[in-house]
Amino acid sequence: MSAAGDGTPFTWAARVYWEDTDAGGVVYYANYLRFLERARTEWLRARGVMQQQLAVEKGVQFMVLRVAVEYKAAARLDDLLAISCEMRPDTRTTAVFAQRIWREPAAPGGRRELLVEAEVRAVCVDAKTLRPRRIAEYIS
């Protein structure tokens, strides 16, 4: 389940731009879900799964069933974020993704700060009928 095969979870980087922030001076609470999805999409891509292709060629897509997010500290404009993604098998047709978002240190040698912890439950479905499909057929 690791990108490197060494127990380190898969991690994707994202920069905070103006589009992500709100008038409170920090990232808007809904926009962390965009960062979480980018990491899940790249986690899939690292396994050779392109969702556009999956939809067109196999008629299969993922639908989010449940999201739980804990906001521990706020990201700000220009922050560099690291977003992790680990898949935990759930039922045959669903998966649970455990994800975290950190702020990278401003200076080398600094420490990452944990900003967000999230759990996302998704189901694999036939794009037309919305009937559940076995995840193992598409992600290995």
Residue type, 120: V
* CA–CA dist 40, 44 (Å, integer): 6
* 19 counts as binding its own copies under rule CB under 8 A: yes
* 137 counts as binding its own copies under rule CB under 8 A: no
Instruction: Write out the binding residues for its own copies, residues 58-87 only, by CB under 8 A.
Output: 61, 63-71, 74, 76-78
Q: Give the three-class secondary structure for 107.
A: coil
- How far is CA 23 from each of CA 34, 69, 73, 78, 103, rounded to the nearest angstrom? 18, 21, 16, 15, 20
Q: Which is nearer to its own copies, 130 or 136 (CB)?
A: 130
Q: Strands 113-126 and 94-103: what pairing?
A: antiparallel
Residue from 5, 7, 24, 109 that binds its own copies (CB under 8 A)? 24
* 48 counts as binding its own copies under rule CB under 8 A: no
Residues that bind its own copies (CB under 8 A): 15, 17-19, 21-26, 28-31, 33-34, 37-38, 41, 50-53, 61, 63-71, 74, 76-78, 127
